[in-house]
Structure 1
Amino acid sequence: MTERSFFNFDWESGDSDRLDPTPWGRRFHDLTPPVEDSVLDGTFDEDQLPTHSEIIELIETLHAGESSPFLPRPKSDRPHSVHLPEHYEARYAYPLVVWFHGDGSSEEELASVMPNISERNYIGLALRGDVRSGDGYRWSTTDEAVRELIDDVESLVLSLRRERHIHSERIYLAGFGSGASAAMELLLHKPEWFGGAACFYGSLPLVPFSQRQAHELRDKRVLLAATTNARSGNARGLIAAGRLLNASGVRIGTRFYQDYGTAPTVKMLSDINHWLMDDVCSSVT
């Protein structure tokens, strides 16, 4: 996948002129042999290399400026959960799955969702819905709620990127029920931020796209899932939403399931993994 991402740290030539070389110059100077040495030593102390968080801080400094998306943001106070893959490797850039739980649940379900998607392939981030629902929460998609969600996702993803190695062009949204609706709203409002969204049993917004949105949505991947249970009636809405998205150049995948419960099944979560890996593998080849 080659589309640009808000969370990408690409930078323009000349930006390094704004960088304070201290202490970076000192750290890299330690790795440089004296000029008088005629033979270079092929070994070095790995502990002297900058850490991932220090590298991210350095690149953010390169983006310094009033229009920079990497200026300090207010820290989000929305409850959230993070899941790391088994045998996390700091040198590997992991795809990130931002999970939106279903009605009556919370961000804590990430601990059961991610292992059923994959134990090894992704880092997971889950946020709590903004409306009380039974013993848990659900998601509101009012304009104000969506604006707050955009701010919270921005803050939490940037904060997580400073701590963990995340591939900026492989950040995906996924959700169930009202969480699927929230995921789609976020993709439609900020398509340049994400690689796509997997939406299971959500009520999808059927609204016209602006020219900017349509351009940014082109070639994004969206997985839409509905149930064959006639009582739910969401299959017709899924088809209508799929047609509208497809007309904007979105690459649509669909799944139909007989089950219609209150939480995603193991089969659904496994399908998310296959859908994600199709994109990851295609971008590599």
Structure 2
Amino acid sequence: MVSNLVPRLQDEHRFPMNRFDASLLWNSVADDSADDSCELEEPASYGTFDESCDESDGECSSVLQSAPAGETFFVPLSYEPNYRYPLIVWLHSDGFNENQVCHVMPHVSTRNYLGVGVRGTQAIDAAGHRFDWHSSSAAMDVAQRRVLHAVRAATSKYSVHPDRIVLAGYQRGGTMAMQIAMRNPEMFAAAISLGGTLGRVGGATIDLDQLRQRRLPMLWQWSIQGDHYSQETLVKEIQFVMNVRSQIEIRQYRNDDEMNTVVLSDLNQWVMDHVVGGAPVAKINPWDSSPTSFSEN
């Protein structure tokens, strides 16, 4: 296990996107049939739409399409069907929906990846615009089916590299991403969590022997000034990951939220280095750690 502690200061001059603008996220979905307590077994279907976005450094014309089964696809600029793209499967934070991928991916990269956003398992508003990731075993099974369906849908519609599928998520979505990746370690090239814990690690649905053989690469990104950050929890989860011999890199940031462009830029570079480039996460042996001091950028 490798634990690289790489805390960084947020650079306010690079696309300051510390919070999502919620008003941008709910205007593409309308379903009055959902209620606050509904835990959906299967997501509703919606029509397709195209959306363009403006970046501070120019125009973003990536294709963003809402598709059946509560999935939203992000297609990179100048999409080339003969190139097999890495795929980032994105699990949104609580209170949002699958369209969050439209706002995250342009700050990761407009050209390097295909992306697909997956809807959470429990509607929390009557209009059916906002969803949470419920933590019950049944809801986790539903979430896993939705992720596997999204991967199949993306690979059938677009040119996806089968060995470069990354499962990533933000806060509770990051927790769900880790849980699903540990259930299916052979399916994913890596798992990434922005401010999400491992949750119920070591549960009966996780094959620990399979995890040890796979040595799943992981990136954990934490803002150490956030209310959800716990050094004690982090230490316990590192101990679990050491037990299953996963390759893990931990990056800590001196701010109160993981959703900023420095974090997303680091995510892009990590995937390009370790998933696309094939560089090992471990340095010398599985138990290495290489902490670094806070960046003064």
1:253: how far off?
A: 0.6
Contact (CA 8 Å) 1:204, 1:238: kept in 2 or not? no
Task: Give the Cα–Cα distance (whole angstroms) in 2 for the partners of residues 252 and 144 of structure 1.
Answer: 28
Higher relative CO (Cα under 8 Å, sequence separation at least 6) belongs to: 2
Contact (CA 8 Å) 1:204, 1:237: kept in 2 or not? no
Instruction: Give the TM-score normalised by the residue count of structure 1.
Output: 0.67
Q: Secondary structure at the match of 1:197?
A: strand
> Could you say which residue in structure 2 is the equivalent of 1:175?
169
1:227: how far off?
A: 2.3
% same residue: 28
1:172: how far off?
A: 0.4
Task: Give the Cα–Cα distance (whole angstroms) in 2 for the partners of residues 121 and 248 of structure 1.
Answer: 31
Q: Which residue identity lines up with residue 181 of structure 2 in the other structure?
A: L
1:268: how far off?
A: 1.3
- What runs of 5+ residues in structure 2 fail to find an aligned partner? 1-41, 45-68, 281-297
1:89: how far off?
A: 0.6
1:284: how far off?
A: 8.4
The superposition leaves residues 164-188 of structure 1 with CA deviations (integer Å, 9 ceiling, x where unpaired) of 1100111001111110111011011
Q: Which of the numbers 274, 279, 294 marks the counterpart of 1:279? A: 274
Contact (CA 8 Å) 2:166, 2:191: kept in 1 or not? yes
The superposition leaves residues 55-109 of structure 1 with CA deviations (integer Å, 9 ceiling, x where unpaired) of xxxxxxxxxxxxxxxxxxxx97531100001101111110000001112211112
Matching of residues 57-68 of structure 1 within 5 Å: none
Q: Does 1:248 align with 2:239?
A: no
Q: Which of the numbers 155, 164, 182 marks the counterpart of 2:158? A: 164
> Could you say which residue in structure 2 is the equivalent of 1:137?
131
CA RMSD of aligned residues (A): 2.3
Instruction: Give the TM-score normalised by the residue count of structure 2.
Output: 0.64
Task: Give the Cα–Cα distance (whole angstroms) in 2 for the partners of residues 99 and 222 of structure 1.
Answer: 15
1:197: how far off?
A: 0.9
Structure 1 residue runs of 4 or more that deviate by more than 4 Å after TM superposition: none
> Could you say which residue in structure 2 is the equivalent of 1:54?
none
Contact (CA 8 Å) 2:208, 2:244: kept in 1 or not? no
The 3 A distance-change label for structure 1 pair 120 and 150 is same
Larger helix share, 1 or 2: 1
Q: Which of the numbers 261, 264, 279 marks the counterpart of 1:269? A: 264
Contact (CA 8 Å) 1:105, 1:138: kept in 2 or not? yes
Q: Which of the numbers 81, 105, 109 marks the counterpart of 2:100? A: 109
1:258: how far off?
A: 2.6
Q: Does 1:217 align with 2:248?
A: no
Tell me which structure has the larger Cα radius of gyration. 1
Q: Which residue identity lines up with residue 130 of structure 1 in the other structure?
A: T
Task: Give the Cα–Cα distance (whole angstroms) in 1 for the partners of residues 189 and 101 of structure 2.
Answer: 20
Matching of residues 39-188 of structure 1 within 5 Å: 77=44, 78-133=69-124, 136-188=130-182
Task: Give the Cα–Cα distance (whole angstroms) in 1 for the partners of residues 117 and 155 of structure 2.
Answer: 15
> Could you say which residue in structure 2 is the equivalent of 1:234?
230
- What runs of 5+ residues in structure 1 fail to find an aligned partner? 1-74
The 3 A distance-change label for structure 1 pair 88 and 284 is farther
The 3 A distance-change label for structure 1 pair 133 and 213 is farther
